[in-house]
A = this chain, B = another copy of it.
Amino acid sequence: MINFAAVMTEEKQDKKDHIIEVAEKLFSEMGFDGASTRHIAQDANVNMAMLNYYFGGKEGLYLAVFEKRFSASKLQLQSLNNENISSFEKINKCIESYADKMMANSCFQKIIYREMSLSQRSSVTDKIIQMLSENTSEIKKILLDGIANGSFENVDVEMLIATMFGTKSYLINSSQMASFLIGKDTTDPKILNEEVKPRLKDHMKKMFKAYLTKHNEEN
């Protein structure tokens, strides 16, 4: 009976988390405006007023979705720049970890990239940019270092980063087009993880290697 309060808190947290999970799914599927609070409350099996009670409103719930993902993201943030491995190995690790990360929460990725495509700046937008810019800066440094130490060909770093994130976000965000391209339902987590992800990783590694490797051509 000692931990009764703790148990209750945990249950409450579970309930809040459940609402957040349902909201994330619906936001990703229908967009912020498209997902009504009634719909979210219904899918989460809670009274509509609970959304405002817990999160202060729709926008607060939206922010809670981000808060949860951001805090979870920071835990596994680890710089590759200090490790004593080759530039190629760093890039490969980057490709691996970002692919894992994005495929693991594809719903959230959809929300992020949809938010980025909207021209309306909000409190969310800045947070997103801040988070993504960390990732961007990390890979940018790896690429620039690799070029500087002679491991990599002198390529357009920014465009290559666009390729890295663009390829991944295309497979996740343009899911309906990706499904047509692959010939299978890429919204199915099983297919996404067992087929798309390994193919994506393999493709990216090979392409980056081919593109970044110096060929000593004199034309």
Q: What residues of chain A have their CB less than 8 Å away from a CB belonging to chain B? A: 28-31, 33-34, 110, 113-114, 116-121, 125, 128-129, 132-133, 136, 153, 155-156, 158-163, 165-171, 173-178, 180-182, 187, 199-200, 202-204, 206-207, 210-211, 213, 215
Contact = CB atoms under 8 A, between A and B. Distances in A.
Given A163-B166, A163-B203, A169-B170, A158 B181 contact: yes
A168 B166 contact: yes
Most buried by B among A28, A173, A180: A173
B29 A174 contact: no
Given A33-B33, A125-B176, A180-B129, A166 B170 contact: yes
A30 B203 contact: no
Given A118-B34, A211-B210, A167 B158 contact: no
Contacts of A176: 116, 121, 125, 129
Contacts of A158: 181-182, 199
Contacts of A174: 113, 116-117, 165-166, 169
Nearest to A107: B119
A159 B167 contact: yes
Given A159-B203, A163-B203, A167-B166, A177 B33 contact: no
A97 to B, nearest CB: 18
A129 B177 contact: yes
Contact of A160 (B119, B173, B203): B203
Given A187-B119, A207-B211, A171 B167 contact: no
